[in-house]
Chains A and B, each alone.
Chain A
């Protein structure tokens, strides 16, 4: 008998006492916590991101290229990783050398790059989380992991949801997802929080106001 059959057989025998009919699961919990306007939800996202030691910037769509250029310059970044589908205009004003995200590049190559700029799939206000789904403007999972500095652009308000349940509804489980709440951190040494053990030590989030697309979420 294969282990598969053995395990399934044991499980079935173990459940001999269980009646076949089943009561449905009670989902009495909330879809979101609190009653907020769209602006308040964005404000909460900014607060919670900052509370988890992400650096938050806000700008208009027109100001985004200058904002990103300024952030990279302030960091002294010489090279920046760019996902294939990132809006080209975003980095139009940056002096930093742009390195495309390619399948062939080795982890060692990625390790030598200073910064990475990506978009995101959705951001969760209540938890201060940004979610990447590997879409063309976000690139492979590893590009936001190996370099020490990650800049993530969130289109507000249309990419912002209030809660974890609302975020899951928007996401496709077939895609590899990375949920990020603040920079890498550990509390393993006497529970003192230290940022940046293995992932990026600095996470900067730019909330870019795209009022033009606001009706998508209304």
Chain B
């Protein structure tokens, strides 16, 4: 995985800054609480949610356990449908492949569908260095790109911006990149969306090369799936002559039928809708399959490893690869809500980022070593996860590894991590813990949720506490945090139960 965001401080410092930014906290709170409530409603409509979640978990686990086989099968299916498959071991290699593919078309600009994988490898910057301009076409990504900013949420990357800020960015920056914002642009969302529509449409209509990721790849048919709302995805996937999709190797599902699970759980978990406005599926090129003259003539699939096979080697941590990037875990996380997405220092923020980034990148940097501590272990993320990733379990596992050291796989090689004693990582970790305790708001919410989810808590301590808890169980978390009991009973004076 390409490095952390440049100059990124470890989580505690970054979070500290965010916590002091009132606008940011207001925007975040509003957004996460809104989606959270909507998601609950969308999920409650489906009576078999638990069964769908279990099936999703099993399908993904099964795929990961036979990933080599499914990768080969996928490759065969894509090639049979007229596509070309490339393999990229790391970010640099993926960037090189994509740059060459674009250069071969003779074009110097590309339109992009929002994609975590291409953000992860820093593709836009790599293309820019070769004189190729990449236009982000998702509205939120456009806001981030024009604002020379970083994404802060998986689903709504500009969640930290309010309408006034967006208006200013559009008015100031659009002319730099193409069609300027209309005169007298106000901050109503409808007007802002219209400005984006006009600005981007001229790019879509002339684009010769599109770049995307994919939500799913179906091994037995070679089909790729992109789920979106705005139609910018459809524009990028169908109008250009050449389509390049960069996709992590874990995004496979074995069969067409398996989509029936994820097309039900993903929209409800992410945008809290029964179904997102648009889902596109395509198999190979327009000449390699049915549908004459429909869509790109050239299709390239770049299969990206970049730390995923290392993550797969960890028996506890590999479950993070089940993630379908719905972002539900971000919206329920009390730490994310206060710290914001930027504090996590990677394109994967929130609870999933806290377990995914240190596995993809290793824990050598201070920010990566501090990420497993960016949590109150309240368990809310696990409860909402549509593929049942036990995020608290992986967090505890990673903390243990950072403090105690042990064998890990980096770039395919077994290495033994030294314990972090006296090391920058441990200092970072301790500071992260101190940060949580110094922010009563974050802590309180964490504790309340901790009470509700106490059966999910680990029974032994990670790190240096392990020897002690090896022979004892940790005390169970009480049903009500002390702080709440104290308030409810007026300092213990009135008899609380």
Q: Are A180 and B277 in contact (CB under 8 A)?
A: yes
Within the complex, the shortest CB–CB distance from B340 to chain A, in Å, comes to: 15
A187 close to B (CB within 8 Å):
yes
Interface centre among A17, A183, A192 (most CB of B within 10 A): A192
Question: Judging by beta carbons under 8 Å apart, are B27 and A190 in contact?
Answer: yes
Residue of A nearest to B293 (CB): A103
Judging by beta carbons under 8 Å apart, are A141 and B238 in contact?
A: yes
Q: Judging by beta carbons under 8 Å apart, are B197 and A175 in contact?
A: no
Out of B27, B31, B260, B290, name the residue touching A175 (CB < 8 Å).
Answer: B290
Are B58 and A8 interface neighbours, CB within 8 A? no
Contact with A along B34-77 (1 / 0, CB 8 A): 11000000000111100110110011001001111001100000
Contact of A145 among B190, B231, B261 (CB under 8 A): B231
Cα separation A108 to B156 with both chains bound (whole Å):
30
Asked whether, in the complex, the Cβ of B51 is within 8 Å of the Cβ of A28, the reply is yes
Are B201 and A198 neighbours in the complex by a CB distance under 8 Å?
yes
Cross-chain contact B31 with A173 (CB below 8 angstroms): no
Known A-B contacts A111-B205, A189-B166, A199-B234; the reply to A12 vs B68 at CB < 8 A is yes
Give the contact-size bracket for chain A: 35 or more
Q: Does A140 contact B (CB under 8 A)?
A: yes
Minimum CB–CB distance from A194 to chain B (whole Å) comes to 4
Closest to A193 in B: B189
Are B239's CB and A172's CB within 8 A?
A: no
Tell me if B230 counts as interface (CB < 8 A to partner A): yes
Choice from B51, B62, B204, B412 contacting A10 with Cβ under 8 Å: B412
Contact call A174/B290, Cβ cutoff below 8 A: yes
Residues of chain A lying within 8 A (CB to CB) of residue B132? none
Q: Which residues from A are CB-within-8-Å of B368?
A: none
Complex interface: chain A residues within 8 A of B204 (CB): 107, 198
Are A8 and B88 CB-contacts (below 8 A) given A181-B277, A188-B139?
no
Which one of A63-71, A88-96, A124-132 is at the B interface?
Answer: A124-132
B139 engages A197 (CB within 8 Å):
yes
A13 is an interface residue with CB less than 8 A from chain B: yes
**Complexed CA–CA distance, A189 and B204 (Å):** 22
Nearest chain A residue, comparing its CB with the CB of B249: A7
Smallest CB–CB gap between A203 and chain B, Å? 9
List the B side residues contacting A172 at CB < 8 Å. Answer: 290
Which of chain B's residues 124-171 have a Cβ closer than 8 Å to chain A? 137-140, 143, 156, 158, 162-163, 166
Given A11-B312, A141-B280, A179-B275; A198-B232 close (CB under 8 Å): yes
The reply on B115 being an interface residue by CB < 8 A is no
Interface residues of A in 115-130 (CB under 8 A from B): 124, 126-129
Residues B210-258 near A (CB distance < 8 A): 218, 221, 223, 229-232, 234-235, 237-239, 249, 256-257
Q: B254-297: which have CB < 8 Å to A?
A: 256-257, 259-261, 263-264, 271, 273-283, 286, 289-295
Per the CB 8 Å criterion, the residue count for chain B at the interface is: 98
The minimal Cβ–Cβ distance linking B336 to chain A, given in whole angstroms, is 16
Q: In the complex, what's the smallest C-beta–C-beta distance from A68 to chain B, in angstroms?
A: 23
Do B51 and A15 touch (CB < 8 A)? no
Contact of A198 among B52, B87, B190, B197 (CB under 8 A): B197
- How far, in whole Å, are A164 and B55 apart by their CA atoms in the complex? 15
**Shortest Cβ distance from residue A84 to the other chain B in the assembled complex, whole angstroms:** 10
Contacts A10-B305, A25-B55, A198-B200 given: A176-B294 contact, CB under 8 Å?
yes
- Nearest-neighbor residue (CB-CB) of A181 within chain B: B275
Q: How far is the CA of A111 from the CA of B235 in the complex (A)?
A: 12
Query: Is there an interface contact between A187 and B412, defined as CB atoms closer than 8 Å?
Result: no
Closest chain B CB from A192 CB (angstroms): 4
With a cutoff of 8 Å between Cβ atoms, the chain B residues found around residue A180 in the complex are 277-278
Question: How many Å lie between the Cα of A41 and that of B259 in the bound state?
Answer: 22
Closest to B157 in A: A188
Chain A CB within 8 A of B370 CB: no
Q: When the two chains form their complex, are residues A107 and B205 in contact, meaning their CB atoms are under 8 A apart?
A: yes
* Complex interface residues of chain A between 1 and 32 (CB less than 8 A to chain B): 2-4, 6-15, 17-18, 22, 25-30
Output the least CB separation between A54 and chain B (Å).
Answer: 10
Q: Nearest Cβ in chain A — how far from B444, in angstroms? A: 25
User: A191 and B34: CB pair below 8 A?
Assistant: yes
Instruction: Given the known inter-chain contacts A178-B234, A198-B200, A198-B230, please indicate yes or no for A11 contacting B71, CB distance below 8 A.
Output: yes
A159 located at the interface, meaning its Cβ lies under 8 Å from any Cβ of chain B in the complex? no
Does A108 lie within 8 Å of B72, measured CB to CB?
no
Bound together, the chains give a CA A185 to CA B228 distance in angstroms of 9
Bound-state Cα–Cα, A26 to B261, Å: 12
Cβ A174 vs Cβ B275 within 8 A: no
> Do residues A140 and B291 form an inter-chain contact, with CB atoms below 8 A?
yes
* Contact of B257 with A10 in the complex, beta carbons under 8 Å: no
Given contacts A128-B274, A176-B295, A10 and B87 within 8 Å (CB-CB): no
Q: Mark B383-424, 1 if CB is under 8 A from A, else 0.
A: 000000000000000000000000001001000000000000
Name the one of B81, B271, B315 contacting A174, with C-beta atoms under 8 angstroms: B81
Those of A125-172 within 8 Å (CB) of chain B: 126-129, 134, 140-142, 145-146, 164-165, 168-169, 172
State which of B274, B310, B409 has its C-beta within 8 Å of the C-beta of A48. B274
Determine whether the beta carbon of B305 is less than 8 Å from that of A196.
no
CB distance from A171 to the nearest CB of B (A): 8
- Contact yes or no, A198 B235, CB < 8 A: yes
B196 CB within 8 Å of chain A: yes
> Top 8 closest A-B pairs, CB basis?
A199-B231, A103-B293, A14-B313, A10-B309, A198-B231, A179-B279, A127-B275, A188-B140
Interfacial residues, chain A to chain B (CB-CB below 8 A): 2-4, 6-15, 17-18, 22, 25-30, 33, 48, 52, 103, 106-108, 111, 124, 126-129, 134, 140-142, 145-146, 164-165, 168-169, 172-192, 194, 196-200
Given contacts A6-B412, A15-B66, A184-B277, 15 further A-B contacts (CB under 8 A): A2-B87, A8-B72, A13-B313, A15-B68, A27-B51, A107-B239, A168-B257, A173-B256, A188-B139, A188-B140, A189-B139, A189-B166, A190-B27, A194-B190, A197-B230
Q: List 19 A-B contacts (CB under 8 A).
A: A7-B305, A10-B313, A25-B62, A26-B51, A29-B48, A33-B45, A106-B205, A111-B201, A134-B290, A142-B238, A145-B234, A175-B283, A175-B291, A176-B280, A176-B294, A181-B276, A186-B230, A187-B156, A191-B30
